[in-house]
């Protein structure tokens, strides 16, 4: 499968995406735990069907030492016993924040309060921005059918 657009070959994309990439780097520098960031990025990408982002976040998480079992269980996190309560709260917030277009009302109070028990204000901010960021990047990739499978861990660092 070939992508509809090569974002690295168009001046408009180059100018815009340098800011997108900078936002992504900023999120990596927050106090939100790295494992949580990768699990959330992976789950949002799964929900949105973004193959290139699923590929990227699987490989980045594995390179950072995440277990194959935990990575494999992200898609069914509700029934899995391998995630901490904090990670489960982050995954719930990520799913509700992603499924707004499915007729959901966004993140409900119970989900927000559960996340707030595990993350401070800075981490909650990072989590909300990460969910929003991943939804944007997933759409950029899904609209143009960017193929997954060829990403190498660390490729964009």
Stretch among 45-54, 93-102, 117-126 having the lowest mean pLDDT: 93-102
Q: What is the mean pLDDT of residues 129-136?
A: 97
3-state secondary structure of 106: coil
Give percent of the chain above pLDDT 90.
80
Which architecture characterizes domain 11-143 according to CATH? Up-down Bundle (1.20)
Name the band, by pLDDT with cuts 50, 70 and 90, for residue 108: very high
pTM of the model: 0.93
Q: How far apart are CA 53 and CA 142, in angstroms?
A: 10
DSSP type of residue 46: H
From CA 114, how far away is CA 97, in angstroms rounded? 14
| pLDDT over threshold 90, residue 120 | yes
Q: List, in order, residues 6 or more apart from 14 with CB less than 8 Å away.
A: 7, 8
pLDDT at 106: 84
* Token digits of residue 34: 């790295």
Long-range CB contacts (within 8 A, 24+) of 23-29: 23/129, 23/133, 24/133, 24/137, 24/156, 27/126, 27/129, 27/130, 27/133
DSSP letter for 37, please: H
Say if residue 7 is exposed, middle or buried (CB neighbours under 10 Å; 0-12, 13-18, 19+): middle
């Amino acid at each position: 499968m070939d992508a509809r657009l090569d974002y690295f070959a168009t001046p408009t994309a180059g100018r815009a995406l340098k800011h997108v990439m900078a936002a992504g780097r900023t999120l990596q520098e927050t106090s939100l735990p790295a494992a949580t960031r990768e699990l959330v990025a992976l789950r949002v990408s799964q929900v949105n069907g973004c193959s290139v982002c699923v590929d990227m976040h699987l490989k980045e998480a594995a390179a950072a030492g995440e277990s194959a079992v935990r990575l494999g269980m992200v898609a069914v996190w509700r029934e899995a016993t391998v995630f901490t309560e904090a990670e489960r709260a982050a995954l719930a917030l990520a799913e509700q924040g992603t499924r707004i277009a499915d007729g959901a009302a966004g993140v409900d109070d119970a989900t927000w309060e559960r996340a707030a028990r595990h993350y401070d204000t800075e981490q909650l901010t990072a989590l909300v921005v990460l969910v929003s960021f991943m939804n944007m990047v997933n759409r950029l990739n899904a609209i143009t059918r960017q193929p997954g499978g060829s990403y190498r861990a660390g490729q964009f660092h």
